[in-house]
Amino acid sequence: MSIHAQPSVLTLSATELARRLRARELRSVDLVAAHIQRIEAVNGRLNAMVVKRFSQAMAEAEAADAELDRGADAQTRPLLGVPCTIKESFGLKGMPNAAGLVSRAEYRSPADCVTVARLRQAGAIPLGVTNTSELCMWLESSNRLYGRTSNPYDHRHMVGGSSGGEGSLVGAGASPFGLGSDIGGSIRLPAFFNGIFGHKASSGLVPSTGQYPPCDGDARRMLSTGPLCRKAEDLMPLLRILAGPDGVDDTIAAQHLGDPAEVDLAGLRVRVVMQAGFGTVAPELRAAVNRAAQALAALGAQVEHREMPELKQSFLLWSQKLSLASPHSFHALLGEGKGPPLGRELFRWALRKSPHTLPALGLALLEKVPGLGKPVAAKVDADLAKVQAALQGAIGPAGVLLCPTFPRVAPRHGRPLLRPFDSGYTGIFNALELPVTQVPAGLNHDGLPVGLQVVGLHGQDHVTIAVALALEEALGGWVPPWTTGRPHTS
C-alpha cells in the first residue's frame, strides 16, 4: 500500500486506525510504511524528526500484525500497531535524549521513560524522536545540535516550542499523534502554530519521570505531559493511557478521569476573555475565539464575554511561580550542573562558535540581572489565588474559559526574540495547574492555522476535551496542509 493508494490513513485518528487494524482492514506494516513515506517526503524541509528508528518500527509493526492476527486484547493493547512520534526530551530506549544540548550529543537513553513505556505497552510504535528548543525553554524549536524546525503550512514560519517537532510532524500528517510536555505552553503553542489538537493536563495527573532536563521540586506541578494529535477523539484515550502514579514522581496521585461523552454542552457556562496576557490579540484570532463561542452558544451553552483584569499580569505571575518552584537555575542546566561563562559564550555566539542559542544565553543572563531574583513566595501565591478565584467565579464549578493561545499566528523564524512576553497567554494556566485543550479553528487568509485555548478547572479535563470535540465538528478541526494548494507548504 502507498500513501497515494490510500491517502486516508494520513488523515485518520489513532483511534480509527486502531479500530481498522483490529478489524484487519489495515496491516500495521502498511500503516507504518505510509507514515515513514510521508516523513521522508516532508522532513527535508521541516527538520522535525531529528533521529529515526524506521527499521525498528517496521520490525515492531510485523510483530504487531502477528499479535493482531491472533486476536489481541483491545483493552490492554488499544494502540497496537499504530505509529507515533516522541519528543526528543523523553527517554526512548536507544535514542538520544539531549533536548538540543550539544554536550549531550552522544548520550543514548538506556530505557523508556514512564510515559513512553505506557504508550508502547499499549501497542504504539515510535517512528523516531523530534526536535525541541534548547533545554525546552524557548518559543522556537531550534538548537545547535539539530538545527531549526519549520512549519508545514509555510516553512518560512516557526513551529513553536518546545514540542515543536511534534507539532510540525503531526500537523504535516506524518504522525497520528505525538508525545509532548508543557511547562509554559510547550504543547499548546506547537499545536496552535501547526493547526492540531493538544492537551495540557491537570497537575498531578501524568508523571514526568525520565524527561530531560529533569523537572524537580514544585516545578513538577507546573509541568504537564500530554498528547498532540490531528483528531480530538484521540485526546482522552491517550490521556487515560498516560495518567496515573508511577511510584517515582510524588506529585502524581490517582485521579478520576471523567467521560467527555457525559458532558452536556446545553447550559454549560462558557466565558470568553480576549485579553489574557501581554500584547494585543490579532483580529483574526479574536474572530476565531468568537466563532468558537458562537458554535457553543448554538449548542445551548451559556456564553458570556467579559474582561478579566487579573490575567493581564499573566507572564509575570507565571515566570515568578516558575522561579520559585525550580530548584535549579537555567544557567546551571546549560552546563549540566555548572553553568558556562556567559560573557565568553555570548562572544562565541557572535562568532557563530557557541554550542548554545541566543535565547538560551539570554534566559541564563536574565537570571543574573539585579532585581530579577527570587520573588516573595507569599505575594505570588496570593496573586495567583486571586486569579484562580476570579476564574472560578466566572465559569462556575464545571464551566470553561475560551481565550487566545498567542497574540498572533505563527511568526516568521526568529521573531519571538522581539516579543518574548507573549507566552503569558499559556503559562498562566501552568502556574494555576489547570487543564487546557488547544483547538484548531481553520486557516487565515495566508494559509496559517488559527485556534484557541479551552480552559477548565482542576480535574475537569474531560470537560475541556468535550468542548474540543464539539468545536472540531463545528469549526472543521485540522486542515491537512497538502489540501491548501499554497506555496511554501509541506
Query: Among this protein's residues, is 368 annotated catalytic?
Result: no
- Reading the block at residue 190, the C-alpha cell is 506547537
Q: Is residue 378 part of a domain?
A: yes
298-331 per-position pLDDT tens digit: 999 999 999 999 998 999 999 999 999 988 888 8
Question: pLDDT at position 372, please?
Answer: 54
Does the active-site annotation cover 87? Answer: yes
Smallest Cα–Cα separation from 32: which of 1, 4, 70? 1
Q: Are residues 343 and 294 in the same domain?
A: no
Alpha-carbon torsion (62, 97, 133, 214), positive or negative: positive
Residues 373 and 362 in one domain: no
- Residue 488 in any domain: the answer is no
Among residues 186, 203, 208, 326, the one annotated as catalytic is 186
pLDDT at 82 over 60: yes
Residues 296 and 322 in one domain: yes
For residue 470, is it within any domain? yes
Question: Is 489 within the bounds of a domain?
Answer: no
Same domain, 67 and 29: yes
CATH number of domain containing 85: 3.90.1300.10
Whether 184 and 427 have beta carbons less than 8 Å apart is answered as yes
Task: Specify the DSSP class assigned to residue 421.
Answer: T
Same domain, 253 and 346: no
How far, in Å, are 1, 6, 9 from residue 30 at the CA level?
A: 6, 10, 10
- Structure confidence at residue 5 (pLDDT): 33
How far from 71 is each of 16, 24, 25, 78, CA to CA, in Å?
17, 10, 14, 12
437 and 470 share one domain: yes
> Could you tell me if 223 and 339 lie in one domain?
no
Check if 52 is active-site. no
* Alpha helical stretches, state H, 246-299: 283-298
Number of folded domains that form the chain: 2
Residue 217 vs residues 255, 430, 463: alpha-carbon distances, Å: 21, 15, 29
Q: Residue 490 falls within a domain, yes or no?
A: no
pTM of the model: 0.95
Three-state DSSP at 43 gives: helix
Mean pLDDT, the chain, as a whole number? 94
The answer to whether residue 34 scores a pLDDT higher than 50 is yes
Tens-place pLDDT, residues 100-120: 999 999 999 999 999 999 999
Residue 435 forms part of a structural domain = yes
pLDDT of residue 330: 87
pLDDT in tens, 164-200: 999 999 999 999 999 999 999 999 999 999 999 999 9
Q: Contact, 82 vs 124, CB < 8 A?
A: yes
Whether 219 and 355 map to the same domain: the answer is: no
Whether the upstream peptide bond of residue 224 has omega within 30° of 0, thus cis, is no
Please say whether the dihedral angle defined by the alpha carbons of residues 95, 362, 194 and 315, taken in this order, is positive or negative: positive
Looking at the fold, whether 154 and 98 belong to one and the same domain comes out as yes
Asked if pLDDT for residue 487 goes beyond 80, the answer is: no
Domain, as residue range, for 41:
7-329+367-483
- 218 and 88 in a single domain? The answer is yes
Q: Which of 162, 175, 314, 319 does the annotation list as catalytic?
A: 162
> What gap in Å lies between CA 96 and CA 196, rounded to an integer?
26
Residues 325 and 352 in one domain: no
Indicate if 374 and 342 belong to the same structural domain.
no
State the cell numbers at 285: 484570532
Active-site annotation holder among 87, 200, 231, 321: 87
